[in-house]
């Protein structure tokens, strides 16, 4: 299966991706754990540019994320799926839909179309949005904020609202999971919903 985790920065999505990876490995399954932007040499360079580089227009940002994602899908995700491995990804296409498509106002359909083209239709089987409010997420962050995180709570609240819209729009694939409880409790709910 191909599972991605989403949420505002500091939501706990990275922790949940790691906990699912560990659980699946404990079941004896092959798991490819990866992240976006990143996961490949090109993706890591684009990650540095997008998160720590200069200010850029929303479409430049969306295009750079899509470029990193195209490489990630071709080099890492599709080969893993083809050999029967599970893929657990910390962020994927829904980040661009939430951040650039909705919160930055580029349009959900336009950003979705760009990504469907570069991904040749590849989407996660299930996406879990770790749902917390902006204040909780900000309190959990334990590092210096990147370029996008520095945009403040108002932008993070817009992103949280965007994720809620995605869960409504794509209910067969995108699910909100309450991220306010202890990490193991949230992980248990994720496993229950996946049936693993």
How many domains, the chain? 1
Q: What is the pLDDT of residues 158-196, one digit of tens each?
A: 999 999 999 999 999 999 999 999 999 999 999 999 999
The pLDDT of residue 103: 95
Between CA 165 and CA 184 the distance in angstroms is: 26
Average pLDDT, the chain: 93
* Alpha carbon separation from 122 to 3, 103, 129, 189 (Å, rounded): 12, 23, 18, 25
Indicate which CATH number applies to the domain containing 62.
3.40.50.300
Closest CA to 114 of 129, 103, 128, 100: 100
**Average pLDDT for 100-125:** 97
The pLDDT tens digits of the residues spanning 42-83 come to 999 999 999 899 999 999 999 999 999 999 999 999 999 999
Give residue 195's pLDDT: 97
Helix extents (H) in the chain: 13-26, 41-52, 58-72, 78-82, 93-96, 108-119, 134-140, 153-169, 183-194
* Full domain range(s) for residue 17: 2-194
Are the C-beta atoms of residues 130 and 12 closer than 8 Å to each other?
yes
């Amino acid at each position: 299966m191909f599972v991605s985790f989403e949420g505002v920065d500091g939501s706990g999505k990275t922790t949940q991706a790691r906990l699912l990876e560990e659980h699946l490995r404990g079941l004896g399954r092959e798991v490819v754990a990866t992240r976006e932007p990143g996961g490949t040499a090109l993706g890591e360079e684009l990650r540095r540019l997008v998160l720590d580089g200069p200010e850029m227009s929303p479409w430049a940002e969306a295009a750079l994320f899509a470029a990193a994602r195209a490489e990630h899908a071709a080099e890492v995700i599709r080969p893993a799926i083809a050999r029967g491995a599970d893929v657990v990804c910390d962020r994927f296409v829904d980040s661009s839909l939430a951040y650039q498509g909705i919160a930055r106002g580029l349009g959900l359909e336009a950003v979705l179309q760009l990504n469907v083209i570069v991904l040749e239709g590849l989407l996660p089987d299930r996406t879990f949005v770790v749902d917390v409010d902006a204040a909780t997420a900000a309190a959990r962050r334990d590092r210096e904020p990147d370029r996008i995180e520095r945009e403040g709570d108002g932008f993070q609240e817009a992103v949280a609202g965007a994720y809620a819209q995605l869960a409504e729009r794509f209910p067969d694939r995108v699910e909100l999971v309450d991220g306010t409880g202890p990490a193991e409790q949230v992980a248990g709910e994720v496993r229950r919903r996946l049936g693993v």
